[in-house]
C-alpha cells in the first residue's frame, strides 16, 4: 500500500527557517570559517541547504554512524560506520543533524569530537523532538523546528529508506 503523507512543514517554511538559522550562524561566526560535519544519511539535504546560505567560508566533512542493541533506544550502542576524512583539531566545528530524538547519537558524537580538540563545537539540527530526549546533556545551539513526537519524513528523513527526497517535512498518515 502506498503511504499517504500529510504536509507538516511546507517547503517554503522550511527554506525560510533555514535561511534564518544560516543568517544567525553567519553572524555568530563572522570573521571565522565553519567546518560542517554532516551525519549521513539524513542530514545531507539540510546540510546542503544550510551551507548554500552561509556567508562565512564553509568546509564540509561527512560521517556515518548506526545505533543498535536491544532494549530502549537510550541504551542503543552507537557505532561509527564512516569516520571523517580530515582532523578537526583547531577548527570551528558544527555538527549538522536532520533530527534529534533521544540524543543518543549526538551524545556519542559530541564526546568523540571533543576528544579531537576542535577550537569550538556546536550542534545544529533541522528538527528536534525534545519530548523524546533521554540524554539531557546534549545542548543544541541551532534548531530550525521543535516538533511533537510524530513519525516524520522528507528533507532527508526516511521511512524504510524512502521519502528522503521530499522537499517538505511530512507525516505518514496510514503507516
**Taking the complex as a whole, how short is the minimal distance between the CB of residue 47 and ligand PRP, in angstroms?**
11
Choose between 22 and 127: whose C-beta lies nearer to ligand PRP: 127
Nearer to ligand PRP among residue 29 and residue 42 (C-beta)? 42
State which residue, 56 or 168, has the beta carbon closest to ligand PRP: 168
**Residue 160 bears catalytic tag:** no
Residue 104 Cβ vs ligand PRP, minimum distance, rounded to whole Å: 4
| Cell 566533512, located at residue | 61
In the set 83, 85, 101, 160, the catalytic residue is 101
The angle subtended at Cα 97 by Cα 94 and Cα 101, nearest 5°, is 130
- Minimum CB–partner distance for residue 30 and ligand PRP (Å): 29
| DSSP secondary structure string for all residues of 75-133 | GPEEEEEE--SS--TTSEEEEEEEEESSSHHHHHHHHHHHTT--SEEEEEEEEE-GGG-
For 146, other C-beta atoms within 10 Å of its C-beta total 13
Q: How many CB atoms lie within 10 A of CB 154?
A: 24
Of 17 and 164, nearer to ligand PRP (C-beta) is 164
User: Which single residue brings its beta carbon nearest to ligand PRP?
Assistant: 42
The rounded distance, in Å, linking the Cα atoms of 173 and 2 is: 11
Three-state SS for 12? helix
**Cβ 107 to ligand PRP shortest distance, Å:** 8
Rule CB under 6 A: which residues touch ligand PRP? Answer: 39-43, 67, 73, 97-105, 158
Query: Contact, 19 vs 54, CB < 8 A?
Result: no
Active site residues: 101
Amino acid at each position: 500500500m502506498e503511504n499517504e503523507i500529510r504536509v507538516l512543514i511546507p517547503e517554503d517554511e522550511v527554506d525560510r527557517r533555514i535561511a534564518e538559522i544560516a543568517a544567525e550562524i553567519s553572524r555568530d561566526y563572522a570573521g571565522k570559517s565553519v567546518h560542517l560535519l554532516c551525519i549521513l544519511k539524513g542530514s545531507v539535504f539540510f546540510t546542503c541547504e544550510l551551507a548554500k546560505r552561509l556567508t562565512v567560508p564553509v568546509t564540509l566533512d561527512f560521517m556515518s554512524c548506526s545505533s543498535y542493541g536491544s532494549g530502549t533506544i537510550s541504551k542503543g550502542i552507537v557505532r561509527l560506520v564512516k569516520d571523517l576524512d580530515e582532523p578537526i583539531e583547531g577548527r570551528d566545528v558544527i555538527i549538522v543533524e536532520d533530527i534529534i530524538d533521544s540524543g543518543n547519537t549526538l551524545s556519542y558524537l559530541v564526546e568523540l569530537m571533543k576528544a579531537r580538540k576542535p577550537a569550538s563545537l556546536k550542534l545544529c539540527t533541522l528538527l528536534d523532538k525534545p519530548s523524546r530526549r533521554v540524554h539531557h546533556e546534549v545542548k543544541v545551539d541551532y534548531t530550525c523546528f521543535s516538533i511533537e513526537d510524530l513519525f516524520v519524513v522528507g528533507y532527508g528523513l526516511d521511512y524504510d529508506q524512502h521519502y528522503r527526497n521530499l522537499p517538505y517535512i511530512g507525516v505518514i498518515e496510514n503507516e
